[in-house]
Structure 1
Amino acid sequence: MAEYYSEEEPATSKRLLLAENDAGLARVLAIRLDLDGWDVTTVNDGEAALEVLRDKTVDVVLLDLRLPRMDGMEVLKRIAKGPSAPRVVLMSGYLDSDNTLDAIRAGATEVLQKPVEPARLLGILEELARNRPRRAEGAGDLGIIGRTSIVGWMRDQIAEVARFPEVPVLILGETGTGKELVARAIHERSGSKGQLVAVNCAALPEHLFESELFGHVSGAFTGARTPKAGLLETAGEGTIFLDEIGELPLSMQTKLLRVLETRSFRRVGANYEQPLRARIVSATNRELVGLPGEPLRTDLFFRLAGYTIRTPALRERIDDVPLLCQHFLREFQKQYHSEAAEVSEQALCALRGHEWPGNVRELRTVLMTAMIGAGPRLEVRHVMRALGSRLAPPSDDKPISEVRVRMQDEEITSMAEVERETLERAYSACNGNLSSTARKLEMPRSTLRDRLKRHGIL
């Protein structure tokens, strides 16, 4: 049992630890929560919060960011180290993109800006109490960035299945949704001693597949001068990740099925079995069964799908775009020494309106393109240029300015209309002042005047 968690079983499913620096707010919240059936323990500093968690099991921790003796971020990190960590809702009146992202990485389930509407807070707490996994909650997000409920649900699934190291996992999702990231999170959350070994089933030649997966003994075939361990053996007690499992050759499907059934395998040319100690995690962006000419045997599919996790498309978690942008910009700053540190509201509006057929991978590429030639702030013109460079040429040879895109819930008929919409908003926000608008858009005054005239705004 971890240092900060009691072994006692909770008598109720609605126990809450309130760690709040503001004594008045703490009293109000405690009274309201008590009326709603919560068993509330209140402390006013970080070390006291950890002391409570040593002796008492709670379902949810409502945590202030600014606490004496130990701040909320450090408390959050220590809570997340436990295998039976409660859900943590971090609240603060001093949130920004950086500490919000840090909190999510550290394991916060929700991050809320004070003041919080009471009905909203109570609704969040009730949902967390109902849906909390009975055991281990993920220690941090393990690289999975997002605050939307669908991402939270995926984290819960990872935490649950990680406790059962022999259960095979099938990850379903579109291209670019982070299936390998989920496989890595399962592996790391499992605490396994072995390594994660990834295999791209589409890239490995069929005639090498068996030898690569199972290994071979000396003399097993021409050129096999020395014995070689296969990937199943190399993974040890870790994880073997079979990406694009739908591309697995039919000749190998029967052999992999037997491995899953017997939890053992044999090197090519060997006359003895070896135990399979690794967990098998597979992934695909295709429908595997139920279609004519299905790529995978039905019996193998059900063996692989001991537990299934679906990675959501970016359009299903569009509210995560700002956090993802912040994450990637930080990455670019470290990797490329980029100046870009933030994305303007207009640029975020354009990003949220895109359909993202390539999902998070496409978003990362668009941001990388946008940062080239941009300063410390990505504006809408940088984003639209990057999006335009990613669009395939229209079949009727229309210029790129005629390609249709979406912005928020409204359809904008062309890239030119996106520009017009942006110019109108900026010009209006500056009360028709040309110089102020030019400074806001980081555009020469003469260029701005020409564009305003071209769009009939001036």
Structure 2
Amino acid sequence: MALSRPLRPAKTKVMSERQSNAADTDNWQRRTVLVVDDEAGMRSFLSRALEGKVDAVLTADSAEAGAAVLEQRHVDLILLDVALPGASGVEWLKALRAAGNPADVILMTAFADMETAIEALRSGAADFIVKPFRVDQMLNAIRRCFDRARLARENYLLRRELDQYTIHKHVVGNSEAMRKVMALVARVAPMPSTVLVTGESGTGKEVVARELHRLSGRQGQFVPLNCGAMAPELIESELFGHARGAFTGAAGARHGLFLYADGGTLFLDEISELPLPMQAKLLRVIEDRRIRPLGTEREMVVDVRIVAACNRNLAQEVAAGRFRQDLYYRLDVVSIAIPPLRTRPEDIVPLAGHFSEQLSAQLGLPVVPLSPSLVRLLQAYDWPGNARELRNLVERALILGEYPVELLAQGEPGPATHAAADDHAPADDAVLLESVERRHILQVLASEGGNRAEAARRLGISRRTLDRKCLQWGLRP
């Protein structure tokens, strides 16, 4: 049964599609398209139609010639004729999918029937177009492919976002120190330069990095990676992607975070944990703006702004031989130092209010008010865990219905003040402290399904500390 071509739409609809296509092609500038057709006229026609809309249009007159192109260049989309000399378009498509090539493929044919269309879609084609076709038909098919790829990328990043535990989404703070930080962020954000964000653990380095991205005007995504949380042997694949069979367990091809961050910002947290061999590769990518997935010979051009963060002194790491000096200077184009929470006590109440509002909505629990005596206690505390520790305290308060101020007393003499009613604390503070701590740790551990690594990250303590406490309480892994 022959496939019928769609009727010519009304003029107003054609104009609407053309306007939509013009807007969509603004996002095509970094895409590369390969046209594989044995007819020189068709190759020329499609090349002219796509000229100026995409970054590059490559052509080949056979599947074999197309395969040679893919060995040298990364391609986002293939416009593939079914009837080719040698291997047919459908046969080559099956070979591409078997090899794990993720590029979208639009099949073209002048002799279409339902069986061919079904076989093409089952073989992994993204779309199927019958010759002869109009330019707007092909542009619409390309737009659908690019939109699907964009949505897939956004969904992947959203899943990563939901899996990550962030302190908060916006920078909160009215202190003079934080006003200076945000003034520097606003000045640096529109620039493409790399930025190094420094500060103690828990000060909110990722939040500042997100604000840099938000104010940058970049159209791509913000993609975070904690270098200290990845196994050293997996970091290269995570950043650059890999081909099928590139290493043991690589059952299929996969894009890397650099590609997902194309046009946006890649945030490399705990950059000091990056192994030395990867530091050299990262330096090369920053300088050349090209990546090479594992197991491939092709290079891919990427437009990624790098923001790195570290809670160590990188200059000292360089002196100790644990960090490359050339990479340090390449990252430290602009440095933003986030002051610890203990040096800006005026930010504690706004932060606590922000955390209370956020966590109250997440946990479905009422906000616990701050009494004047508790505010004084919060501002007098040293906050070794910074904003992350404050968030954990607020979460404890919502769960318990009151602020466990005995955690803030720091062993000072005299009665501690209770948040809700300013009553005297129980005599045995040590017993109460252990009880509250154990209850909260077990609740967080239960909420993470027993995942101790994630629970330790949420609690702001090391995995070793959590294991030791669980052992004391008779809990086995």
After TM superposition, the score normalised by the length of structure 2 is 0.51
1:338 paired residue number? 365
1:81 paired residue number? none
Indicate if the aligned counterparts of 1:199 and 1:242 stay in contact, CA closer than 8 A.
yes
Instruction: State the aligned residue count.
Output: 260
Moved >6 Å (runs of 4+): none
1:188 aligns with 2:206: no
Q: Percent identity?
A: 39
- Aligned-partner SS, 1:309: strand
1:243 aligns with 2:275: no
1:304 paired residue number? 331
When residues 441 and 158 of structure 1 are mapped into structure 2, their CA distance, relative to the original with a 3 A threshold, is: same
**Counterpart AA for 2:421:** L
Q: Any stretches of 5+ residues in structure 1 without a counterpart?
A: 1-140, 389-402, 405-413, 427-439, 452-458
**Counterpart AA for 1:315:** R
When residues 260 and 354 of structure 1 are mapped into structure 2, their CA distance, relative to the original with a 3 A threshold, is: same
- Aligned-partner SS, 1:295: coil
- Counterpart CA distance in 1 for 2:379 and 2:230 is 37
- Counterpart CA distance in 1 for 2:379 and 2:389 is 13
- Aligned-partner SS, 2:307: strand
1:273-284 map, 5 Å:
273-284=299-310
- Aligned-partner SS, 1:170: strand
When residues 331 and 261 of structure 1 are mapped into structure 2, their CA distance, relative to the original with a 3 A threshold, is: same
Q: Any stretches of 5+ residues in structure 2 without a counterpart?
A: 1-167, 429-477
1:387 aligns with 2:384: no
**Counterpart AA for 2:408:** L
Deviation sequence 1:154-213 (CA, Å, 0-9, x none): 11111111111x211111000000011111111111122111111111121121121111
Deviation sequence 1:298-334 (CA, Å, 0-9, x none): 1100101121111110012111111112112212321
**Counterpart AA for 1:186:** L
**Counterpart AA for 1:257:** L
Deviation sequence 1:212-233 (CA, Å, 0-9, x none): 1111223433443432211111
2:203 paired residue number? 177
Indicate if the aligned counterparts of 2:368 and 2:398 stay in contact, CA closer than 8 A.
no
1:323 paired residue number? 350
1:45 paired residue number? none
Aligned with 1:266 (options 275, 292, 297): 292
**Counterpart AA for 1:190:** S
**What is the CA distance between 1:418 and its match in structure 2?**
4.8
- Counterpart CA distance in 2 for 1:339 and 1:221 is 50
Compare the two structures and name the one with the higher helix fraction: 2
Deviation sequence 1:15-70 (CA, Å, 0-9, x none): xxxxxxxxxxxxxxxxxxxxxxxxxxxxxxxxxxxxxxxxxxxxxxxxxxxxxxxx
1:354 paired residue number? 381
**What is the CA distance between 1:145 and its match in structure 2?**
0.6
Indicate if the aligned counterparts of 1:367 and 1:386 stay in contact, CA closer than 8 A.
no
Indicate if the aligned counterparts of 2:368 and 2:397 stay in contact, CA closer than 8 A.
no
Indicate if the aligned counterparts of 1:206 and 1:249 stay in contact, CA closer than 8 A.
yes
- Counterpart CA distance in 2 for 1:201 and 1:335 is 28
- Counterpart CA distance in 2 for 1:222 and 1:255 is 21
Aligned with 2:172 (options 127, 141, 145): 145
1:368 aligns with 2:395: yes
- Counterpart CA distance in 2 for 1:369 and 1:223 is 41
**What is the CA distance between 1:273 and its match in structure 2?**
2.0
- Counterpart CA distance in 2 for 1:352 and 1:311 is 18
Indicate if the aligned counterparts of 1:246 and 1:284 stay in contact, CA closer than 8 A.
yes
- Aligned-partner SS, 2:224: strand
Deviation sequence 1:358-405 (CA, Å, 0-9, x none): 00110111122233443xxx5xxx3423436xxxxxxxxxxxxxx54x
When residues 264 and 341 of structure 1 are mapped into structure 2, their CA distance, relative to the original with a 3 A threshold, is: same
**Counterpart AA for 1:161:** V
When residues 357 and 224 of structure 1 are mapped into structure 2, their CA distance, relative to the original with a 3 A threshold, is: same
**What is the CA distance between 1:242 and its match in structure 2?**
0.7
Indicate if the aligned counterparts of 1:288 and 1:295 stay in contact, CA closer than 8 A.
no
When residues 155 and 442 of structure 1 are mapped into structure 2, their CA distance, relative to the original with a 3 A threshold, is: closer
After TM superposition, the score normalised by the length of structure 1 is 0.53
1:157 paired residue number? 184
- Counterpart CA distance in 1 for 2:252 and 2:399 is 49
**What is the CA distance between 1:442 and its match in structure 2?**
6.5
**Counterpart AA for 1:441:** A
Asked which structure has the greater CA Rg, the reply is: 2
- Aligned-partner SS, 1:163: coil
Aligned with 1:210 (options 236, 239, 249): 236
- Counterpart CA distance in 2 for 1:223 and 1:371 is 44
- Counterpart CA distance in 1 for 2:206 and 2:171 is 11
Indicate if the aligned counterparts of 2:359 and 2:395 stay in contact, CA closer than 8 A.
yes
**Counterpart AA for 1:417:** G
